[in-house]
Structure 1
Amino acid sequence: MRTQVRVVSRWIGDEQGVTSIEYALLAAMFSVAVLGSVVTLKGSLGDAYEAVATAVTLAVTTAMALVS
């Protein structure tokens, strides 16, 4: 009987499993936030990269025209 009481009290006091579950929940929430951000910003990020590419292409074309 004492052994069972010790086992149960050790099991109740052990918080390692609880901590693992908390970290797993935090990781899941972080993943959802990242995926939501990527989905939301996908169009605007594409537009931003396209604007930068256009500006760089124009700058290179202008520089090459001035050099030749």
Structure 2
Amino acid sequence: MVDYIRILLQARLSARDERGASAVEYGLLIAGIAALIVVVVFAFGGLLAGVFQSTCQTVANGAANSC
């Protein structure tokens, strides 16, 4: 009977360990995605700013608003 209770307690403790590991894995995945977004923004930021500026100037030529 004591062995049965010990096995149940060990099973619960090992399940907690797996949840902690999966939380760490999700955290690493989110950090990787965030780092990728930062790299893409810095790499293409100037290009995107030029596209938006060009679009704004095109719209401004047809309207009274300025950029």
* TM-score for the superposition, normalised by structure 2: 0.70
Measure the CA separation in 2 of the matches of 1:28 and 1:41.
20
Unaligned runs of 5+ in 1: 62-68
The number of aligned residues is: 59
Measure the CA separation in 1 of the matches of 2:53 and 2:12.
60
RMSD of aligned residue pairs (Cα, Å): 2.1
Moved over 3 A (4+): 5-14
With CA pairs under 8 Å and 6+ residues apart, which has the higher RCO, 1 or 2? 2
Task: For residues 31-65 of structure 1, give each alpha carbon's deviation from its aligned partner in whole angstroms, at most 9, with x where no partner exists.
Answer: 1111011101110011011101110111115xxxx
* TM-score for the superposition, normalised by structure 1: 0.69
CA radius of gyration, larger in: 1
Unaligned runs of 5+ in 2: none
